[in-house]
Structure 1
Amino acid sequence: MFRETIYALSSGALPSGVAVIRISGPAVQNILRQMAVAVPAARSAALRELRTKSGILLDHALVLYFQAPASFTGEDVAELQVHGGKATVAAILQELSTFDDTRLAEAGEFSRRAFLNGKMDLTAAEALSDLISAETELQRRLAIANADGKQRDLYQGWRRSLLNARALIEAELDFADEADVPGSVSDQVWSSVQALHQDILNHIDGYRAGEIVREGFRVVLAGRPNAGKSSLLNVLAKRDVAIVTDIPGTTRDLVEVTLDLSGLKIILTDTAGLRDTDDVVERIGVDRALEATRTADLILHLDDGTGEPVKIDADCPDLKIATKADIRHLAGSTHDLAIAARTGAGVDELEEAIRKIAAEAAQPAEGVVPTRARQVSLLRRAASHLQVAAQSDALDLELRAEELRLAEYALGKIVGAVDSEELLGVIFSEFCIGK
């Protein structure tokens, strides 16, 4: 139970039609009695006048009360739906600050209290943060699935399997002479531990797909100067993002734009033309272009046929695109597609090709996948302990059992069953204030 009551504006930027002020903690009922005359019935909206302690009218508001533990934070919670003027909200927040043991909430503090009060696990908290920041339909779907407990259920199921395995080992160690205790646990435990080890490795493989959904699929436009990269970027973005001229070397830095293709976030990056140059600034741009190709998920290698295509070494798929097809025909070429940015010819086909490649890369995220580097690190740690336990036949049984305990501990840290205050501070500081 927290001693302090926290409050914050939980809705969007002001001014707005309606603003929602959230209050959580032991002083909620007292605040409602003094500011709104009485505590409304739990989970029922009541229209009330909000007044200061001295009786000055602040606003007319819809007041909702959620009685502990049936609330988002697990504490007494009130939500004040007030008019969204800056002065109105400021006056109400100022009045809340006059009550004993109340203060403005820190970033993510409502969610942190929900976690500490057992209302959600860490994977659900992280998914809630993703849900708030979701920009595309696939991001929303992934976040809502994890917020609904799919990750938690998977990891907790693995922990239960390890608990059962450890129980069998303990039984053999402590009661080996008893008739009703199974014999060697090898057949019962180590094969299932090996299978769990493989399940975790397969699960880790899905991280990249989850990362693509959360962070975006990176598509880099690369090629010689004046190959049509900036023109294509503007056409795909449907607005003038990059400067287009006939002068080679116009683009000196990376220019990014974000698209939503069938619910998937696509990050398009225009780059400097790849060529040898004595211009110091352009050389920096070329270096950045090459670095962008090394971190890309897909490279669009543009070629207008005016020079030898540049060689791009990258460990990702690439599409060879013949550009300026309205004025130049690259006969006998090995290009995947031909486009004309000026007329739009071939652009729809290119968009569809990008969408298909991105969708295939993100497809594993339709299941349960890890969504944070923190989760992957702990999963790898658990897998490492399981590998030692399953494959080290020469180790004493007690030491192999300890490896299973360490694996279970690592899985517990993912959901927050065991965790440190420092880690919680890092996780919840990424939330917005009011959540």
Structure 2
Amino acid sequence: MHEQPTIYALSTSPGKAGVAVIRVSGSRAKEAIHRLTKSKAAASEPRKAHFCRIRHPVSRQSLDRGLVLWFPGPHSFTGEDIVEFQVHGGPAVVRSVLDALQTLQGYRMAEQGEFAKRAFDNDKLDLTELEGLADLLNAETEVQRKLALRQAEGGLRIPYERWREQIIHSMAQTEAVIDFGEDEQIDEGVLDQVHENITQLRDAMESHLQDNRVGEIVRNGVQVAIIGPPNAGKSTLLNRLAKREAAIVSDTPGTTRDIVEVNLNLGGYPVVVSDTAGLRQSDDVIEMEGVRRAKARLQTSDIKICLLSYSQLLSRDQELRLDPILRDILDQDTYLILNKEDISKDVDAKRWVDKVQRETGVRKVWSMSCKTDHGVDVFLQDMIDLLKEKFDDYINSPVLITQVRHRHHLQECIASLNNYLSLSTDDVVLSAEELRQAANALGRITGRVDVEDVLDALFSQFCIGK
């Protein structure tokens, strides 16, 4: 067979650093130790760090002094022999070691995600574990880290492979009836037992899908939309939450025309807060496009917060006043903020919080001043409590779907199992085929079958040294 080239790359971030790790993987990896260090101990003692002088293999010029580690395959990340050079992290040092490796025959620079791809090809990681590893590298909050680490350690692979094995076992029993039923006196009740097992398996998968898409939401960020009329203070609130001037603030109505987003970390949860155009009727075509986009964002948000100012909310007789366009979006899933306490000093905030919540039926109401920061801390703490109440129980589940494609293939599997369960016991050949389709659908989740297009997209997310 054609020997794969040995690959190498910088595995730590480029730029100045105290230490840089250069990784080598392939059948000729050990040669790098002999050619660059001449250390017999480093090439004979696996998983033990050796302090060596690193030299250019041709000119013998000294490049640096650092640690060298050898990880013989198959017990390594890629399943191949791996060598790591831990050198000083200056750009010139890193470049000189990479240039030295380039002179070795059968060596080339690794492509993006190629180390991870070799781990997959050598059955060191399945596709769900690779996706978890990619998510772990990109995790920005504590909850994302926990979710990604659990998946990278096989949190999804284990149950999915168990389900797939159960389906394959049932398929084998069904095919045995096809091949040997008449000659070998196979137990007549075997198909009834298969039917019962598949029913239980289908029910377990359907229960697994009832997760309110929490894994996907946390992986991509909880979408929070701030809506309300013009000049209610939506952009001021966004800037207050972001702690920077993310959105333009102006007294001119209709200043915000497009969606403005900021990313927050609330209690370990990733949150994407969107400031939207003020909701009102207008003859301005561009402003109405902003209103349309605001309503569209509302439909895709996980949490919607309506912001109203006291001056817009109250009529002269101190009665609640709401524009019809706002009444249409307020429901029991909406959270509402009464803003601009600082310029409404005569207002009894507690009384109006109770009154607005009672008359609108929204989930919760806060009173604050986004300009002076009064009440914002209380709002943020309540939002953290809300996120924990909404998602914590799901996050603590050992198995949580994190990708749209996982859900799609699970639904395909369940559809095939339902087709199997709807068939007559006389349709044994069709029954076996439905079970085969169900097993293949699960196999596409873990990467057992037909996933080349998924692999290409996945490995493009990794850095060159991973």
Identical-residue share of aligned pairs (%): 41
* Distance (Å, rounded) in 2 between the aligned partners of 1:314 and 1:417: 47
* Corresponding residue of 1:21: 22
Partner of 1:212: 217
By how many angstroms is 1:167 displaced? 2.9
Going from structure 1 to structure 2, the CA distance change for 1:183 and 1:264 (only over 3 Å counts) comes to same
Q: Which SS does the other structure have where 1:227 is aligned?
A: coil
TM-score normalized with structure 2 length: 0.88
Question: Residue 443 of structure 2 corresponds to which residue in structure 1?
Answer: 412
Equivalent AA in structure 1 for residue 53 of structure 2: E
Shift of 1:279: 3.3
Q: Quote the Cα distance in structure 2 between the aligned partners of 1:120 and 1:2.
A: 22
Shift of 1:186: 4.4
User: Is residue 324 of structure 1 aligned with residue 340 of structure 2?
Assistant: yes
- Cα displacement (A) at 1:388: 0.2
How much is the aligned-residue C-alpha RMSD, in angstroms?
2.2
Structure 1 equivalent of residue 367 of structure 2: 338
Tell me, in whole angstroms, the C-alpha distance in 2 between the residues paired with 1:93 and 1:315.
61
Tell me, yes or no, if the aligned pair for 1:207 and 1:376 is still in contact at 8 Å. no
Distance 1:180 1:314 in 2: 67
**1:420/1:316 Cα in 2 relative to 1: closer, same or farther (>3 Å)?**
farther
Pairing partner for 1:141 from 130, 139, 146: 146
Aligned with 1:100 (options 93, 99, 105) = 105
Tell me the residue number matched to 2:202.
197
Q: In structure 2, the residue corresponding to 1:16 is in which secondary structure?
A: coil
Are the equivalent residues in 2 in contact too, given 1:221–1:269 (CA < 8 A)?
yes
Within the candidate set 278, 290, 298, 1:293 is matched to 298
Match of 2:465 in 1: 434
Question: Are the counterparts in 2 of residues 6 and 105 from structure 1 also a CA contact under 8 Å?
Answer: yes
Deviation at 1:50, TM superposition (A): 1.2
Q: Residue 403 of structure 1: CA displacement?
A: 0.4
User: Where does 1:380-419 land on structure 2 (aligned, <5 Å)?
Assistant: 380-393=411-424, 396-419=427-450
- Say if 2:7 is the partner of 1:6: yes
SS in 2 for 1:423: helix
Match among 345, 353, 368 for residue 382 of structure 2:
353
Say if 2:242 is the partner of 1:237.
yes
Q: Which residue of 2 aligns with 1:47?
A: 51
Tell me the residue number matched to 1:302.
307
Q: Is the 8 A contact 2:174 2:191 kept in 1?
A: no
8 A Cα contact 1:5 1:24, kept in partner: yes
1:327 is displaced (CA, Å) by: 2.9
**3-state SS of paired residue (2:18):** strand
Q: Secondary structure at the match of 1:283?
A: helix
Kept in 2, the 8 Å contact 1:294–1:314? The answer is no
For 1:243 and 1:426, locate their aligned partners in 2 and report how far apart those are by CA, in whole Å: 36
Structure 1 spans left out of the alignment, 5+ residues: none
Counterpart check, 1:270 vs 2:275:
yes
Secondary structure of the 1:6 match is strand
Tell me if the contact between 1:237 and 1:257 (Cα under 8 Å) persists in the aligned partners. yes
Q: CA offsets, 1:143-199, max 9 Å, x none?
A: 111111121110111012112222332333344357873213343121221221222
- 8 Å contact from structure 1 (residues 297, 317) kept in 2: no
The answer to which of 41-50 and 173-182 deviates more is 173-182
In the aligned structure 2, how far is the partner of 1:249 from the partner of 1:127?
42
Counterpart secondary structure, 1:232: helix
Question: Corresponding residue for 1:424?
Answer: 455
